[in-house]
A and B are shown apart, each in its own frame.
Chain A
Amino acid sequence: MSNKPKIAFYWCASCGGCEESVVDLAEGILDVVKAVDIVFWPVALDFKKKDVEAMPDGSITASLINGAVRTSEQEEMAHLLRQKSQVVIAYGSCAHTGGIPSLTNQFAKEDILKYVYEDSPTTVNPNKTRPMTEYSDNNQTVTIPEFRNVVRTLDQVVDVDYYIPGCAPTPGLLKTAVDALLSSQLPPKGTVIAPDTALCQECPRLDSKPQDLAIQEFVRPHQIKIDPALCLLAQGLACMGPATRGGCEARCINGNMPCTGCFGPTSRVIDHGAKIASALASSVEAKEEDKIEKSLEGIPDPVGTFYRYGLAKSLLRMNNQIPRDNNQIITKEQ
């Protein structure tokens, strides 16, 4: 095998969009493949877990892991790749801050399984059969991974060196990260590889943002005809630009849609949702309690809106009321 740096890709709880963003490098991927060996990439290449286990510790230059961590299998692969890699990069919103999968931290595991296997409109399951994590027959035991109570970010499971934000990250950010790896000019550990300024700074509509927003009422994108030249906040849309990290090339804004916050917060913010709630609420014009509440009616689900990509990384992490399984450890005699 050549002496080129080795790169691994892996996906945990994710939609596949992050893998797509790697392919979106288009012909740029040829330069990457010229410079590195891809040693593990379940989506695209036929390497197995045992191939990774056979590698010496620390022999992979960098593992780019996307997706949040929900199952024991994902946990195990994260630990395995951590052990085999010099650098672990959390790739995309889900690995970075929990992403869409972590919105399920509002619900109990039992409610999720019950909905998926019994109640959802497209499910026909009269016997209410559910998969078991372990099944024995004829002295043979088959297992499937455990489904955890909580969705976690990658850095809540293993040590993470760098983060590439975005749902999905732009090919440009991936290129920046790969170039940094190849040139050995690595930023300090823990760096999020994107500018550390709010999206508003790079927004093409910044000039039309009024000094005092004085929002009368919040509206949702389908309720108005959006002016393509005017600041979205000035139109009453809950745009998360003021509290969200830039670097996405303002793709949603250019598509005439408000920012939904996929790049996560800047380095000075610890709780993205609280920060954007603070920014938006204080921009409301009303001064009386009932009028303030009326103005805020256009944000019917603040947790789902403000923590759309980051509930796992939020300070509260999960709905505090829901019951969890007892964490019983199954130790089967071999």
Chain B
Amino acid sequence: MSENWEPKIIAFFCNWCTYTAADLAGVSRMQYAHNVRIIRVMCSGRMDPQFVLDAFAKGADGVLLGGCHPGDCHYIEGNYKALRRSALLKTMLQDMGIEDARYRLEWISASEGDKVQHVINDMAAKVKNLGPLGLPKKFADWDKEMDDLEKKIENKGEPAHVK
């Protein structure tokens, strides 16, 4: 891991609370870690666990999900669905060897610009501490083991049916 490495964190923020809070943090000139790439979703309940896994598989080092506090969801129940999915997803991520700190669910209301700043800074520091997840590179490394078949067959002078 190089000294200058910086983690990439994908943040899914709900339109009504956390995204608005991030806006507030912006207009209030609160500075937070630059590692985060924010994607706006209409509700934290829109968050499909596939999005989290896809983010990791495509090279994210951490995924943050932000929604309205329980009871405050614009769609009444959406954040509860996010909470239930997160509970199961966390177990699955652990079982697949992805550290707890790489996935985080936070309730941040529209007025909590300072919480956006605090959560992002804290998560960026923790993920930086863990180091890169680097799944795309790992996938490529795993698949290198298939190349040796080609080399072996070439060495034997057998007809090449390997691409």
Contacts and interface: CB of A to CB of B under 8 A. Distances in A.
Interface of A: 53, 72, 75-76, 79-80, 82-84, 106, 146, 148-150, 156-157, 269-271, 273-275, 277-278, 280-282, 284, 286-287, 289, 292-293, 296, 299, 301-303, 306, 314-322, 324-325, 327, 329-332, 334
Interface in B128-162: 133, 135, 138-139, 141-149, 151-153, 155-156, 159, 161-162
B125 interface: no
A334 B144 contact: no
Given A278-B48, A302-B95, A316 B151 contact: no
A150 B138 CA distance: 12
B145 A271 contact: no
A281 B84 contact: yes
Contacts of B54: 270-271, 315
A6 to B, nearest CB: 17
B155 A334 contact: yes
Contact of A329 (B81, B148, B161, B163): B148
A321 B95 CA distance: 10
A289 B83 contact: yes
Given A149-B145, A277-B88, A330-B148, A316 B135 contact: yes
B144 A327 contact: yes
21 contacts: A76-B162, A79-B161, A146-B148, A150-B142, A150-B145, A157-B146, A269-B50, A271-B49, A274-B53, A277-B85, A277-B89, A277-B92, A280-B88, A296-B91, A315-B50, A315-B54, A315-B56, A316-B135, A325-B145, A327-B141, A332-B155
Nearest to A321: B97
B32 interface: no
B95 A106 contact: yes
Contacts of B26: none
B155 to A, nearest CB: 6
B161 A80 contact: yes
A275 B50 contact: yes
Given A150-B145, A322-B97, A284 B155 contact: no
Contact of A278 (B49, B143, B149): B49
Contacts of B98: 316, 320
B24 interface: no
A287 B70 contact: yes
Nearest to B55: A315
B87 interface: yes
Contacts of A281: 81, 84-85, 87-89
Contacts of B97: 319-322
Contacts of B87: 281, 289, 292-293, 296
The 3 closest A-B pairs by CB, nearest first: A321-B97, A320-B97, A274-B49
A330 B152 contact: yes
A320 B138 contact: yes
A314 B133 CA distance: 17
Given A271-B54, A274-B50, A76 B149 contact: yes
A287 B49 CA distance: 18
A320 B133 CA distance: 9
A327 B141 CA distance: 9
Contacts of B148: 72, 146, 327, 329-330
B145 A273 contact: no
Nearest to A265: B50
